[in-house]
Structure formats: C-alpha cells, structure tokens
A and B are shown apart, each in its own frame.
Chain A
Amino acid sequence: MKEKLFIIRLSIALIIFITGLIGILGIFYPLPIFNIQFTPLYQRVIIDFSIIALVLFTLFIIFTLLFGRIYCSLLCPMGIYQEIITLITKRDNEKQPNRAVKYFISAILFGVLTGGSTLLIKYIDPYTIFSSGITLTITGIITIVLIGILTIFKNRFFCTNICPVGCILGLISKISLFKMYIDKNECLSCSMCERNCPSGCIESDEQIIDNETCIKCFKCISNCPKEAIHYGIKPKEKIKYSPKRRELITTASALIVLGIAIKSGIELGKNIIKKTKEIILPPGSVDTERMYNKCLNCNLCIKACPNKILVKSNKEFEAVHIDYSKGENYCKYDCIECSKACPSGAIKKITLEEKQRTRIAMAVIDSEKCQNCRECINNCPVKAININEKGQIIINSSNCIGCGTCKKYCNNNAIEIFAINEQQRV
C-alpha cells in the first residue's frame, strides 16, 4: 500500500489537472476546481464578504492544518505542471535551501493584495499564471516557460522558495497534524529519499524532513527500501522550543514589510488608474478602477462567455473587459456565465435578476442616421426603445442596460454604445 501512495496521489492530481485544463480551455467544466484556489478565494473573502468563499477558504486552511501543504501536489495546476516536467526530465535532486527571502516576497505580494490591488500578485500567483498562460496571454506564457526552465535545473525551487501561496501554506504546514517523518529506528540513511525528493527537504544523514517545504508528494515513502518514512501523526519528541535570534528578526521584519505592503496596496488601489478610459465591463464588476485592481487576468470568464465579447487585458485596459466589436457583438440578456466563472470576485457573483437590472453601458440613437426600421424596438430585451409623439425612435435611458443588442440589429449604424463610469442598478 505504502509504495502505491505516490502513484495514487499522482493519478488524482493528473485527473484534477486535466479536468482543470479542459475547464480553462472552455471545452467542458465538470468541477469548478479553480474556485478552490488559494489566492482567488482569499480575495473573494476580503472583498466580497462571500459566505461560500469564506467557508471554502476555512475548509482549505483546515485541510492544510490537518494534512500539510498537500495542495501543492494535488490541486495546484502549476505544481502538477512542474511535476510532469520532472517526470519527463528525470534529473537527480539535490538539497534545496529554505531561504527567508520568500517570507518577504509573500509579505509584499499578499500585503498589496490585502490592501486592495492584484497588481503584483497576478504575475506570480501559481494559479493565475497557469491559467493565463494556458489561455495564451504573453505574460503568462513567459512566466510558465521561465518556471519550466527553472524546474529542469532546480526542480521545485519555485514552490519552496518563491511561490507566495506555497510560503503561507508552508508556514501552516509547520504545525499541521499529519507530518512526514523518518522512523529513526528503521532508517539506514541510504539517502534514497533525499535523492528523489523534488523539493529537496530531506536530510537523510540526520534523518530530518523539513515539513515546511515538503509538498507531500509521497515520493520518498514509495522509494524507501525499509518503509522507514511515515505520513501521519508524528510521535512526540521532547524538544524545548527556543526561537533563534535570526528567526525572531526575520519574523518581525517580515511583519513590518507586510504592514508597509498593505498600506502601499491601499494607496496603489486608489491612485493607479483614473476613470478616464472608455471601457465597458462585464456586469458585476462595478467600475474600471475596481476591475483593474481585482482582476487576476485568469481569463476564465472569457472562455465562459457564450457570445465571445469579453477580451483579454490589452493596451486599452489591463484587465478583462467587453469589446462589442468582437464575437456576437452584444451581451446576452439571460446569461451570467462570466459572473459564475470568476473565481476571484472581480466580477461579483450576481443573480440573473440582478444582471438584467445592471446597466453596463448606455445606448444612444443618432436620430439623423435612424431610418425608422424598428429592428431595435423588436429586439431590445428590456423594452427600453419606444416611438415618441413625432414618430421618432427614442431610447428610454432609465431602462437601458447597455447590452448592445439594439446596435447589433441596427441596419443603419445609428446606435452607439457608450461606456459609463460606474455600473448602475436600473
């Protein structure tokens, strides 16, 4: 059984990975796996006060508290991607350092996120870069390739020493219930485990496994000739805990960095963008400022949109937005796919009824071009277009939600859809 643990874990991970992959590509999405990723969930908890997100997030933490950072080898798409690379290259592993730099990286990234801006984390969070890479975004592809190269030479160095999510989960892993440990009575110090460990966290001479950087891949358990490595509740050893001076200084300065990062995140969120840009956003994303600061650019919504009007971040606006010149040219009235797909809360979870009452833009008719064909009146889903006493077609702006249907059906190009500053309830 023990030898098979690695294979079982790997197969589950691969199944999850493949389902996730076809999910991102918009082919078939049976499991909303990307709704249980760390960073998006965390953001949903702090900006949306969503109960579902809070429950999922708490479960996530409890899961890690029980089993350690098994997320990294089971759920994280970036982790499994790296694992696949190592399976192909099959290099020998070496001991990896556990440097304190990652605490500062993590403090900065999550501090800024907590302050209210995804500006930094969207280029490094494992889930985000993976999904933006898969959906062919240049920054995502570059980061994925870089990490791929890093993996070939340094194995899971990204996970153990760079990844901000891994850093936090590692800290939780330190006190998790289930741990990896070596049974000192059985161990021969043959270093089989050390050579096979992808995260380089085993010291077979001293029979120590560093549970902070261990990603619980179970490779060592399967490889140990004496079955000396166990995964479970570690028998208590009497060690008097005395924090070293260096640890204390690191902790204190990381906390200070975290505080500064939160503050600068708040400032960044406020000042980074002025609302001058004429950008239409998917219903539920409120305004350009919020969208810019909350969107992780994972592009799940783009794949979900049946009308294909959502576009990736580009020069115009560095987050997902609507471009009515693309796809079907209008936003479907009875559809909230983008809101359902968004894992990070950038597009709020709205009900269909709310969506149908959310104004995302504003249609205006140019009465000189209008030839009174009445196609718009027949097609307007909210019945906002009428004929006035003079026989002219007019838009009742109080009802217009800016879905763009009228523009699509207009034969004379007389209707223009204008972006608005902030989405409103009609």
Chain B
Amino acid sequence: MKRREFILSSLLAAGGTMILSGCNKKNIIKSEGEVVKRKFKDINVPLLGFGCMRLPMDGKNIDMIELEKMTEYAMMHGANYFDTAYMYVDEMSETAIGKVLKKYDRNSFILADKSPIYKMNSREDVRKIFDEQRKKCQVDYFDFYMCHNINLNTVDQYKNVKMVEELDKLKQEGKIKYFGFSFHGTPEILKDVVNDYDWDFAQLQVNYLDWDVVKAHEQYNIVQEKGIPVIVMEPLRGGGLVNLSEKAMAKLKESYPKSTPAEFGLRWAASQNNVITVLSGMSNLQQMKDNIATFENFQLMNDDEIKTADEIAKIIQSQGEINCTACKYCMEVCPKGINIPAIFSLYNQYKVTKSAFHLKIYYETLSETEKADKCIKCGLCTKNCPQNLQIPELLATVEKEYEKAKQG
C-alpha cells in the first residue's frame, strides 16, 4: 500500500468512527424561547404539556417523523412535559414517546404515565404493568404517575386491587416521583378519592364549557380545598373548542378579534390559579407552534375575557351538540366496533351547519360495521364514557336524523 492510500483510508476510517459516535450522542437542546413555567414542589413545570393521546398519524401507525419534529420543537422551547398512557393510540403511544425521548437526557424532560385501572385484576398486575410501561417508555422512573381514569365504573376495581398501596411502594422505591390520579367521575366519588392518599396532584378535565356541563368547577373546588394542585386535561375538549360554530366564533371575534379559539381556550384553563400545567393533545407541528406561541407570552385572563368565555359556552350549549371529546374510550369496549366518536362528530357538524346533504354523504363514508344501526344497546360504552354520555340513546337519535336526511 502506498503511503498516500494509507493516509487516505485511515482518515476515512477515523471520519466514519466520528460520525458513528456522533449518532449515539444525546441531542443537545438549543433554546429558542421559553414557555412560561410554574413551580411545583422542587421542579419547574412548563405551563403547556404535550398530551400524547392524539399523536400525528400516518395511516394506522404513528407518524414518527412528524412526532420527532414536534418533540424537538417542544424541547427547544422548554415545553418538556410529556403525558402518555397505556391505552393511548391503540397502546402505541408509550412506545413511540419512548423512542423519541431516548435521544434526550433523562433530566431534560418530564414524563407522565398512567396506570390502566381496567387492566388490573390483582395487585401483582399493578407492578407488572408498571414495569411493562417503563420498558416501553425506556425510562427507569416516571416523574408523574397516575391511576388512570377513576370514574363511576372503575372506582370499585381501583379500590379492590389496592392500587394506591402498591403504587405508593413504587414511589418509596423512587420509581415514581409524584403520584396522582386522573379523574372523570362525579363530585361525590372525588370527595372519597381525595381522602385515599396524600396525593401530589390531580388531573382533571377543566375548560370553559365543562366548568358547568360536567360540574368541573365542583371537582376543581374539592381538589383545591384539599390543597392538591391540578393538571388540566381536555382544555379544548378534544378540539371541540377549536372548531367553534359560526355563532360562537362570531361572539369571540366580536370581543377579541385577535384571539384564536385554541389560544382562548388554553389561556382560560391556564388562568386558574391552582393549575400546574395544561395538557394539549397536539397532532401536528403547526398546532404545537401555535400553542407554544400562546404560552411564550402568556397573560392571565382578565374578567372581561372570562365573561366572554361564559357567553360562548352558553351559545355552544344551546346548539344541542353532543359533548363528545373523541377520547375513544368507548371504542375500547364496543363489542360491535361502532365508530362512535366519528358518528357524533358528524352529528355535531350537522347541528351547526344544518346541512342534511353533508350528513348523508359523510355518514355513507363510514364502513357498514361502524354505523349506528349496528348498536345492540349493551351499554358498555356508557360505562366507559368520561363525559357520562348515554351513548346508545344518542346513537339512536343520530340514526333517526340520518334516516330523515336520507329521505328529505
């Protein structure tokens, strides 16, 4: 080998090694701005949290490229709170988030996960599933960990399995930093649950529409009296407060022409003083950018704005829409596989636009097995619905309206 060749090839080899070793390095976070943070115990939590229930999709799988872009953008702006759960996105959410966050230093992000009560048949299951979740998320500990979705139907199971005792053990072992619960039940149950443990936090559904509709303010008060800080979920009702009807939109534009519905809703939720963070289930980079902009120069709402929110809530309530947040918890149990959220969303659009033609067309795009007439009224969905909707009856209503639309 000639000397020149030797030098050339060794240089190439060295370069290759450097590139390879570079791949393994944790991403360095370049700060491009900072969302507002609030102090919670001994950490600073960003006021905007990334909810991982409505991740960007590519067909049936999670769109990892978009998700990575979103994560990078969030991390660069200090929005480092990630909230996932066992059942999110057909149980794929945890794995995807684990994959994305692996590239960052463990101290640089805050990860929240939830223990699926419906999966627990015995106390051993709690730890088994916890370990499974740690594996999926590729972490040793969770910053925030919750009993997921305590409601009318899960509360018995949650008590029988003694989840609190088992999870408290895990907290003592240092595998959980802060232990709380997420809640979708009635105020009566909540009064009971808050006394079960010295909770670090509670995750509640708080937004200006639900403040009255599902008695969110009562829940909020119960928790506040106990001195438990609140994490807000569904601040925009699964997008319901983003796609406002014409009337509601006109009201918002009339009072605050510069506000967007999303910004308005998020700010409303974040303006409650007992709130640590507001989770928003973002599905693309643009939503992420918009939301982060909202929280970069965040200002508490003034009284006039809160009054406007009340008025908008009244307008929405008067339209007769179904209060579905498209969380798809019903789809988990529906034995017939009816696409309940899609049907309700179509119905809501129909209620706003009054266009029977569109209802007819879009309803036909659902596959035969997903339609409302397949309902056998077993009522499993109702038990799982966080909003306590009487789904079988509502489906019958939609079916009737659709039949009318078909004829008319």
Query: What is the interface of chain A, defined by CB distance below 8 A to chain B?
Result: 274-276, 359, 362, 364, 395, 397-398, 400, 418, 420-422, 424
| B342, CB-defined interface residue at 8 Å | no
| B394, CB-defined interface residue at 8 Å | no
Offer 18 A-B interface pairs, CB within 8 angstroms, sorted by A: A274-B368, A275-B337, A359-B335, A362-B335, A364-B378, A397-B378, A397-B379, A397-B380, A397-B383, A398-B153, A398-B383, A400-B378, A418-B335, A418-B376, A420-B335, A421-B369, A422-B335, A424-B335
Q: In the complex the two chains form, what is the Cα distance from A245 to B369 in whole Å?
A: 54
Nearest first, the 4 closest Cβ-Cβ pairs linking A and B are A420-B335, A397-B378, A421-B337, A418-B376
Nearest Cβ on chain B to A381's Cβ, whole angstroms:
18
Which residues of B341-358 are within 8 A (CB) of A?
Answer: none
Residue of B nearest to A363 (CB): B378
Assess whether A276 is in contact with B336, with CB atoms less than 8 Å apart. Answer: no
| B38, CB-defined interface residue at 8 Å | no
Residue numbers in B under 8 Å from A359 (CB-CB): 335
Nearest Cβ on chain B to A287's Cβ, whole angstroms:
10
Residue numbers in A under 8 Å from B335 (CB-CB): 359, 362, 418, 420-422, 424
Convert B356-383 into 0s and 1s, putting 1 for each residue whose CB lies closer than 8 angstroms to a CB of A.
0000000000001100000011111001
Q: In the complex the two chains form, what is the Cα distance from A254 to B366 in whole Å?
A: 42
Sorting the interface of chain B by its residue count into under 10, 10 to 19, 20 to 34 or 35 or more gives 10 to 19
Residue numbers in B under 8 Å from A395 (CB-CB): 378
| B333, CB-defined interface residue at 8 Å | yes
Assess whether B369 is in contact with A275, with CB atoms less than 8 Å apart. Answer: yes
Assess whether B336 is in contact with A420, with CB atoms less than 8 Å apart. Answer: yes
Q: In the complex the two chains form, what is the Cα distance from A400 to B379 in whole Å?
A: 11
Query: What is the interface of chain B, defined by CB distance below 8 A to chain A?
Result: 153, 333, 335-337, 368-369, 376-380, 383
Residue numbers in B under 8 Å from A276 (CB-CB): 368-369
Residue numbers in A under 8 Å from B336 (CB-CB): 418, 420-421
Assess whether A424 is in contact with B378, with CB atoms less than 8 Å apart. Answer: no
Nearest Cβ on chain B to A265's Cβ, whole angstroms:
21
Nearest Cβ on chain B to A420's Cβ, whole angstroms:
4
Q: In the complex the two chains form, what is the Cα distance from A280 to B202 in whole Å?
A: 43
Nearest Cβ on chain B to A370's Cβ, whole angstroms:
14
Assess whether A422 is in contact with B378, with CB atoms less than 8 Å apart. Answer: no
Q: In the complex the two chains form, what is the Cα distance from A364 to B336 in whole Å?
A: 13
Nearest Cβ on chain A to B364's Cβ, whole angstroms:
16
Residue numbers in A under 8 Å from B380 (CB-CB): 397-398
Q: In the complex the two chains form, what is the Cα distance from A123 to B337 in whole Å?
A: 32
Nearest Cβ on chain B to A256's Cβ, whole angstroms:
30
Residue numbers in A under 8 Å from B376 (CB-CB): 362, 364, 418
Residue of A nearest to B383 (CB): A398
Residue of A nearest to B380 (CB): A397
Nearest Cβ on chain B to A322's Cβ, whole angstroms:
15
Residue numbers in A under 8 Å from B333 (CB-CB): 424
Residue numbers in B under 8 Å from A362 (CB-CB): 335, 376, 378
Nearest Cβ on chain B to A162's Cβ, whole angstroms:
40
Residue numbers in B under 8 Å from A275 (CB-CB): 337, 369
- Besides A364-B377, A398-B153, A422-B335, 8 more A-B contacts (Cβ < 8 Å) are A275-B369, A276-B368, A362-B376, A362-B378, A421-B336, A421-B337, A422-B337, A424-B335
Residue numbers in A under 8 Å from B368 (CB-CB): 274, 276
Q: In the complex the two chains form, what is the Cα distance from A309 to B405 in whole Å?
A: 42
Q: In the complex the two chains form, what is the Cα distance from A139 to B8 in whole Å?
A: 72
Q: Tell me which of A274, A420, A422 has the highest count of chain B C-beta atoms within 10 A of its own C-beta.
A: A420
Nearest Cβ on chain A to B155's Cβ, whole angstroms:
13
Nearest Cβ on chain A to B14's Cβ, whole angstroms:
42
Residue numbers in B under 8 Å from A424 (CB-CB): 333, 335
Q: In the complex the two chains form, what is the Cα distance from A276 to B383 in whole Å?
A: 25
Residue numbers in B under 8 Å from A274 (CB-CB): 368-369
Q: In the complex the two chains form, what is the Cα distance from A398 to B337 in whole Å?
A: 16
Residue numbers in B under 8 Å from A397 (CB-CB): 378-380, 383
Residue of A nearest to B382 (CB): A397
Q: In the complex the two chains form, what is the Cα distance from A229 to B71 in whole Å?
A: 75
Residue numbers in B under 8 Å from A421 (CB-CB): 335-337, 369
Residue numbers in A under 8 Å from B377 (CB-CB): 364
Nearest Cβ on chain A to B266's Cβ, whole angstroms:
36
Residue numbers in B under 8 Å from A364 (CB-CB): 376-378
Nearest Cβ on chain B to A148's Cβ, whole angstroms:
44
Residue of A nearest to B368 (CB): A276
Residue numbers in A under 8 Å from B383 (CB-CB): 397-398
Nearest Cβ on chain A to B90's Cβ, whole angstroms:
13
Q: In the complex the two chains form, what is the Cα distance from A400 to B333 in whole Å?
A: 13
Nearest Cβ on chain B to A417's Cβ, whole angstroms:
10
Residue of B nearest to A275 (CB): B369
Nearest Cβ on chain B to A157's Cβ, whole angstroms:
46
Nearest Cβ on chain B to A228's Cβ, whole angstroms:
65
Nearest Cβ on chain B to A274's Cβ, whole angstroms:
8
Nearest Cβ on chain B to A246's Cβ, whole angstroms:
45
Residue numbers in B under 8 Å from A398 (CB-CB): 153, 380, 383
Q: In the complex the two chains form, what is the Cα distance from A207 to B379 in whole Å?
A: 76
